[in-house]
Amino acid sequence: MTTVADVVTRLAKETHPETASSWDPVGLQLGDPEASVETVAVCHEVTEEVVDTLRRQKTDLLVTYHPLLFAKTNRVVAGRSAEARAFSLIQLEVNLLVIHTDFDAMTGGTSDALAGVFKLRDIQPFGGDTDTGQPHIGRHGEFAGTLAVVDALAADAFGSSGLRVSGDPSKNIERLAVLPGSGSDFIDEASGVADAIVTGDVEHHRTARALELGLAVVDPGHIATERPGMGALVELVNEVTGDGVVDLTGFDPSTWI
């Protein structure tokens, strides 16, 4: 019999959860380590649609990229909230495993998948801090083209709706940095290794700072930059648990249209 703890241990050998950011609640977030596992599902985020599907699809373990519970909580009650979805998973006896910034940092994980969208070469890690334990969750690599070409590739991969670009379209991009999710905290570091960065959730003042540093910004959105890595996450869970993983990553948790 395979248990939840067995799957958690096998995946940890690949993702190395100890490399996750200190604020990130990776690992088993809900459930019983000794519970048996026959059916495993994978999602980008535990949305209402995911929970509704689990009500119809018997699942023993759900592997999610975005943690369900980020902040400490003292109430888990029914309703419409992250805590309510946790309550539903407990009712359904669905164990919940979080694989997040450890998967960003992992070779072949979310960051490498995003780098693949732009066909980067000579890929190197960045965005880490050995003093604080912050993993290298970004990548930078060689790119041959202008900012307009980066823009076009982003539009082709993610759609033009919501895509924001800051910088001179004719600017030559020799090295491009990519960081899935919210990467604006790493703008200063990216400016030292690249001519442009692709990441999400970049607000006005961070963009102005990037331009001051000579760094162009391409922001397709938080979820869009993570989406290429979801296929890689499904593949990883399949490899570790065997074929038959239920793929729920098609439920897009983007909050923007």
pLDDT confidence of residue 122: 97
Closest CA to 218 of 185, 253, 177: 177
Please give the C-alpha separations between residue 62 and each of 8, 109, 198, 248, in angstroms, as whole numbers: 11, 18, 29, 9
Domains of the chain: 4-103+227-247 (3.40.1390.30), 107-219 (3.40.1390.30)
Closest CA to 137 of 21, 43, 26: 21
pLDDT in tens, 145-188: 999 999 999 999 999 989 999 999 999 999 999 999 999 999 99
pLDDT confidence of residue 164: 97
Please give the C-alpha separations between residue 49 and each of 12, 44, 178, 250, 253, in angstroms, as whole numbers: 27, 12, 29, 10, 9
Judged by phi (left if over 0) then psi (alpha if -120 to 50, else beta), residue 190 lies in alpha
pLDDT confidence of residue 242: 87
Q: What gap in Å lies between CA 175 and CA 183, rounded to an integer?
A: 17
Digitized pLDDT (tens) for each residue of the chain, 257 residues in all: 899 999 999 999 999 999 998 889 999 999 999 999 999 999 999 999 999 999 999 999 999 999 999 988 999 999 999 999 999 999 999 999 999 999 999 999 999 999 999 999 999 999 887 777 778 999 999 999 999 999 999 999 999 989 999 999 999 999 999 999 999 999 999 999 999 999 999 999 999 999 999 999 999 999 999 999 999 999 999 999 987 899 999 999 998 87
Are 241 and 40 spatial neighbours (Cβ–Cβ below 8 Å)?
A: yes
pLDDT confidence of residue 128: 83
pLDDT confidence of residue 176: 98
pLDDT in tens, 186-220: 999 999 999 999 999 999 999 999 999 999 999 99
Q: What gap in Å lies between CA 49 and CA 253, rounded to an integer?
A: 9
Q: What gap in Å lies between CA 47 and CA 248, rounded to an integer?
A: 10
pLDDT confidence of residue 225: 98
